[in-house]
């Protein structure tokens, strides 16, 4: 073997002391003992698959004062995320093949992690040309950062048919723009009232009627009452963010907690947590949406929505494993296996044939989250002061890229779309 990683590895749904053999960046063999040209022995530390964050906004191109593919991917890999799927609400928006290819060139130059790029759906989007190179399609049913709003599904009937024919996933920001209230906002409670749980429920119902031919994926589910609606639509998958699981309107966050869909109350949070355990929510994704502190210091009404989260997602979830609120299996399923399956990339499992993306974890070593120590350009966190279990080392395709928060490997992120063979 070229490379052998030894440790307490998460293989076929359980932990076992074994060796992972790697050739050409892929896992080729798993056995009790293996010889290798290069051997990393992590002893009793856990070795889990690299996480896939299926929802990030790295702001590149066009808003690189907030983030870029270099800083965003550094944050990702320091948090055990070895693959990210970037959203299309950049400047220019990723709605044409040339914009998609420009973004791909940027990411190939700057990214430390592998990536996929979403294409945005608007009236007139040429779905067929984009479908070979995009990881999936994204539809915004309510206004949020960027100008990709589609207010009625009838406006994009032809485009949705083409998405269905392409076989790619249609990821949706599901809030019903027509049900949004527009009262002045001064607090997280006000923001929640303006974008009620009914907004989310109504959008999900409309999708079930008018887009059911697509492989639907509901992004950032925020209300517990949405869970029974999701179950009614066949072949649908759903996502939840760490902030909707762990924060609510009682968290004293002010504008830092202003996000779409909004943070809600404790019982929603608990309902979502149960939904994740039950597998009603398929994946956890961060919706990493950085804005500068200066922008967040605007008055509540004017402050932009969104918060960073790619670096803290896996550490926060692992802390819940440490505290025995979650099984390791639930975390690996939601952050690694299911996103890989849903979007069809060769990642997210420690098994022969998969990319050798691995995180090394000491589950007893939690640390306190400090925004200023994280790697996102925005340098703040709504999870400030909470505990996280950060990975000791992270490998991308068989190479150690970070160790103890330091960059030790090279920048070799590449597009993971179309590499299935």
Write out the residues near Zn ion by the rule CB under 5 A: 173, 287, 387
CA distance 131 to 169: 10
User: Considering only 6-14, 141-149, 360-368, 387-395, which stretch makes contact with ligand NCD by CB under 6 A?
Assistant: 141-149
The entry of Zn ion, ligand NCD, none near residue 145 (CB within 5 to 8 angstroms by kind) is: ligand NCD
Q: Is 259 in the site for ligand NCD (CB under 6 A)?
A: yes
The entry of Zn ion, ligand NCD, none near residue 265 (CB within 5 to 8 angstroms by kind) is: none
Catalytic site residues? 287
CA distance 307 to 243: 9
| Tokens describing residue 68 | 């870029």
The entry of Zn ion, ligand NCD, none near residue 259 (CB within 5 to 8 angstroms by kind) is: ligand NCD
Q: Is 89 in the site for ligand NCD (CB under 6 A)?
A: yes
Q: Is 94 in the site for ligand NCD (CB under 6 A)?
A: no
> Residue 258 Cβ, how far from ligand NCD at the closest point, in Å?
7
DSSP 326-373: S-HHHHHIIIIIHHHHHHT-S-SS-STTSB--EEEE-TT--EE--GGG
> Residue 211 Cβ, how far from ligand NCD at the closest point, in Å?
18
Closer to ligand NCD by Cβ: residue 145 or 237: 145
> Residue 125 Cβ, how far from Zn ion at the closest point, in Å?
18
Q: Is 249 in the site for ligand NCD (CB under 6 A)?
A: no
* Chain centre to alpha carbon of residue 282: 12
The entry of Zn ion, ligand NCD, none near residue 89 (CB within 5 to 8 angstroms by kind) is: ligand NCD
CA distance 115 to 350: 19
The entry of ligand NCD, Zn ion, none near residue 387 (CB within 5 to 8 angstroms by kind) is: Zn ion
Q: Is 145 in the site for ligand NCD (CB under 6 A)?
A: yes
Q: Is 264 in the site for ligand NCD (CB under 6 A)?
A: no
Bond preceding residue 261 cis, omega within 30 of 0: yes
Placement of tokens 């049900």 in the chain: 179
> Residue 175 Cβ, how far from ligand NCD at the closest point, in Å?
9
Contact residue for ligand NCD among 64, 95, 202, 260 (CB under 6 A): 260
Contact of 170 with 121, CB cutoff 8 Å = yes
Q: Which is nearest to 184 in space by CA: 176, 173, 175, 193?
A: 193
Q: Which of helix, strand or coil describes residue 332? A: helix
Q: Is 136 in the site for ligand NCD (CB under 6 A)?
A: no
* Chain centre to alpha carbon of residue 343: 12
CA distance 316 to 135: 26
Q: Is 57 in the site for ligand NCD (CB under 6 A)?
A: yes
CA distance 118 to 121: 10
Residue 36, C-beta contacts closer than 8 angstroms, at least 6 positions apart: 1, 2, 3, 4, 19, 21, 22
Question: Which residues of the chain form contacts with ligand NCD (CB under 6 A)?
Answer: 57, 89, 144-146, 173, 259-260, 287, 289, 305-306
């Amino acid at each position: 073997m070229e490379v052998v990683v030894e440790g307490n590895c998460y293989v076929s749904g359980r932990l076992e002391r074994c060796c992972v053999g790697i050739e050409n960046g892929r896992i080729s063999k798993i056995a009790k003992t293996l010889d290798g040209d290069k051997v990393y022995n992590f002893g009793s530390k856990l070795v889990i698959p690299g996480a896939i964050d299926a929802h990030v906004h790295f702001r590149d191109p066009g808003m690189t004062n907030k983030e870029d593919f270099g800083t965003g991917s550094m944050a990702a890999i320091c948090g055990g995320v070895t693959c990210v799927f970037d959203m299309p609400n950049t400047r220019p928006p990723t709605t044409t093949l040339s914009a998609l290819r420009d973004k791909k060139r940027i990411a190939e130059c700057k990214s430390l992690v592998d990536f996929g790029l979403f294409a945005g759906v608007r009236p007139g989007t040429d779905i067929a040309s984009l479908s070979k190179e995009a990881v999936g399609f994204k539809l915004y049913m309510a206004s949020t950062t960027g100008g990709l709003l589609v207010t009625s599904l009838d406006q994009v009937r032809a485009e949705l048919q083409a998405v269905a024919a392409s076989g790619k996933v249609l990821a949706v920001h599901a809030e019903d723009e027509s049900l949004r209230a527009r009262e002045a906002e001064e607090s997280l409670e006000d923001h929640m009232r303006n974008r009620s749980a009914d907004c989310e429920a109504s959008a999900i119902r409309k999708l079930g009627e008018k887009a059911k031919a697509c492989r639907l994926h509901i992004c950032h589910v925020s209300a517990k009452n949405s869970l029974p609606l999701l179950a009614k639509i066949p072949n649908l998958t759903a996502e939840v963010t760490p902030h909707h699981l762990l924060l609510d309107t009682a968290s004293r966050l002010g504008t830092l907690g202003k996000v779409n869909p909004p943070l809600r109350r404790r019982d929603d949070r608990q309902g979502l947590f149960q939904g994740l355990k039950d597998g009603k929510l398929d994946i956890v994704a961060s919706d990493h949406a950085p804005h500068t502190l200066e922008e967040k210091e605007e008055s509540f009404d004017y402050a932009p929505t969104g918060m960073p989260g790619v670096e803290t997602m896996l550490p926060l979830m692992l802390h819940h494993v440490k505290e025995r609120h979650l099984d390791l299996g639930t975390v690996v399923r939601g952050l690694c296996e299911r996103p890989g399956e849903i979007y069809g990339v060769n990642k997210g499992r420690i098994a022969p044939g998969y990319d050798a993306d691995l995180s090394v974890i000491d589950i007893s070593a939690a640390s306190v989250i400090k925004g200023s120590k994280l790697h996102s350009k925005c340098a703040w966190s709504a999870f400030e002061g909470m505990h996280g279990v950060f990975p000791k080392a992270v490998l991308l395709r068989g190479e150690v890229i970070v160790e103890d928060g330091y960059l030790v490997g090279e920048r070799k992120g590449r597009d993971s779309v179309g590499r299935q063979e």
